[in-house]
Structure 1
Amino acid sequence: MQKLVAGLLLVIVSQIGYAQGDLLSLVEKNDTIKRERVTNAFKSSRVINGHSIEFLGKGVLDVRILHRFGEVSSGISNLFGLDQASMRFGLDYGISNNLTVGVGRSNVGKELDGFIKFRPVAQTKGPGSFPFSIVLVSGITLGTQPWTDTTRKNYFTSRMDFYNELIIGRKFSDRFSLQLAPIFIHRNLVQLASEENDVYALGIGTRFKLWKRIAFVADYHYIAKGLDKKIYKDPLSVGFDIETGGHVFQLHFSNSTGMNEKAFITNTTGDWGKGEVRFGFNLSRVFTVGRHH
């Protein structure tokens, strides 16, 4: 009898151990299904002109060269715009995976610019996922050209302009991403008394992957209020992203000359319908300069 009881106890203990092991394997299997951040909605922190919902990694430095030629409609005498050039040189740095700062200098208007970009919410997939990313951008520009009118009292603050932007974007599939970006710009000084200091616009950016390393991108800003639409046009840029290792090389056409938010939103006069567009390229090269986690 004692042997029989001992045998039954051994069987029961072994079955309990087997059941616990089976339950543990189920728990471990469920733990592998975790919420993940959706990445690569765009291949750069910029669509073309405007910011994208993408961020640099922590400790990553992005050296950006934006180059834009003259108007294609200028004809063969100007080599269809290639005889002229405008550019912006910028340095962007990832303080964290959700916080980037950047500075730049444009030869158009001799402007310095700086921005801070923060992502409070990222698009995720898996349990408890969130369907889109939310990004906040705040920037400042500073003109350095000599004053055109030296007979009046000119203030340093008159050289400054500001912008604030909210970007809402989503990667719908491996091929297609879309974002909307309402933006507010305040100019401390305008050229004419009839002009408004505050400008409101709505940006739309999209990316469609064509091949493994090539994607079509478009960047459009609708000017809702603050500018004379008979003079100023909505900036529209279209182009292609080409991935080459650590580089993202972009070829595009745009009706804007300026390459910071204040410049391309408030100073675009080129008309696509009249062929007043410019060929250009953006080059981005990233370096890991800080400790990456």
Structure 2
Amino acid sequence: MSKLLSFISLFILILSYAQDDLLKEIDTVKAEEPYSPSFKALQVVTAQSTKLPSKKEFYLDISHRFGDVSDGFKNFFGLDNATTKLGVVYGLTDWMSLNFARHTYQKTYEFGAKYRLFKQEKESPFDIVGYNVLDINSELKKDDFPKLEFADRFAYLSQLLISRRFTENLTLQLTPSYIHRNLIEPTIDSKDLFSTGLGGRYKISKRVSINAEYFYNFENKNFYKNPLSVGMDIDTGGHVFQLVFSNSQANTETGYISNATGDWAKGHFFFGFNLYRVF
């Protein structure tokens, strides 16, 4: 835990230094200007961004992660082995949203809450948002786990999303994360996983940006692979379409950090997309 806190402190110091340096060389977002979200989409790539829906906004979320691209024509470059997410997000207030989703990955039901703590304005140099999730794995069977109880299906995620919009084009985000599972693999020492994500967005045109994110797992390093994802945001006006390339096929909130199975160096990665439609 001390390593995680040290990493967070170091990142914030770097952001503060970069802010002073960038102010001298490029146009930045002025504090007196109206608040503008750091991200266009609700996700950086797979991880959540600091953007929230406005009050009473309703989002339909459809996401796909196809299989391993390196399978080639055998599985049609992964398209035969897709996982799907169908979800909704509702802006309860301007500072809090609720979400629900169903994933084909482990037949997971997901409940989440996202809430803004600080805006990047004159009083704060950062957007800071909290995010909490309960995942319920309905795929577990009593035939495999005779002593299985309903609570064993639960997994929890808590994140602090800290972003800084340096310029009109560049945003960075730090995402310290904590995952707890009530049921884990016997080879793992702890039910808890601490990790930290670093991601960002660079706008290359009025409606297109390049995004990337990387999560470093502090626990059980021989078991967990670190997920690395890159993507592209395409804003069509009525919705935001995100192309995704990642070494983690899971798109559940507790899954993509702890279930990366691909290896970029060997060409093992997964293609997919996120589609948000606003109502």
**Shared topology, TM-score over 0.5?**
yes
The more displaced of 262-271 and 141-150 is 141-150
**Equivalent residue runs for 1:50-61 within 5 Å:** 50-61=47-58
AA at the equivalent of 2:255? A
1:166 equivalent in structure 2: 160
The match for 2:238 among 246, 263, 276 is 246
1:4 equivalent in structure 2: none
2:12 equivalent in structure 1: none
Question: Does the residue aligned with 2:257 lie in a helix, a strand or coil?
Answer: helix
The match for 2:111 among 106, 111, 114 is 114
Q: Is residue 59 of structure 2 the alignment partner of residue 62 of structure 1?
A: yes
AA at the equivalent of 2:46? N
Percent identical pairs in the alignment equals 39
Question: Does the residue aligned with 1:51 lie in a helix, a strand or coil?
Answer: coil
RMSD: 1.7
Deviations 1:146-177 (A, max 9, x none): 41545732211000011111111111110000
The more displaced of 235-244 and 188-197 is 188-197
The match for 2:130 among 132, 136, 152 is 136
Distance 1:255 1:144 in 2: 24
Distance 1:34 1:50 in 2: 27
Q: Is residue 217 of structure 2 the alignment partner of residue 223 of structure 1?
A: yes
Distance 2:80 2:31 in 1: 54
**1:129 deviation in Å?**
3.8
**Conservation of the 8 A alpha-carbon contact between 1:208 and 1:217:** yes
The match for 1:73 among 60, 66, 70 is 70
Residues 66, 34 of structure 1: alpha-carbon distance in 2 compared, 3 angstrom cutoff: closer
Deviations 1:189-235 (A, max 9, x none): 1121544200000011200000111100112211112x3x3343111
1:285 equivalent in structure 2: 277
Q: Which has the larger radius of gyration?
A: 1
Aligned residues: 250
Distance 2:69 2:187 in 1: 33
1:272 equivalent in structure 2: 264
Distance 2:83 2:258 in 1: 17
**1:35 deviation in Å?**
4.3
Gaps of 5+ in 2: 1-29
Distance 1:230 1:75 in 2: 28
**Conservation of the 8 A alpha-carbon contact between 2:140 and 2:153:** no
Q: Is residue 80 of structure 2 the alignment partner of residue 83 of structure 1?
A: yes
**1:40 deviation in Å?**
3.2
**Conservation of the 8 A alpha-carbon contact between 1:35 and 1:129:** no
Question: Does the residue aligned with 1:145 lie in a helix, a strand or coil?
Answer: coil
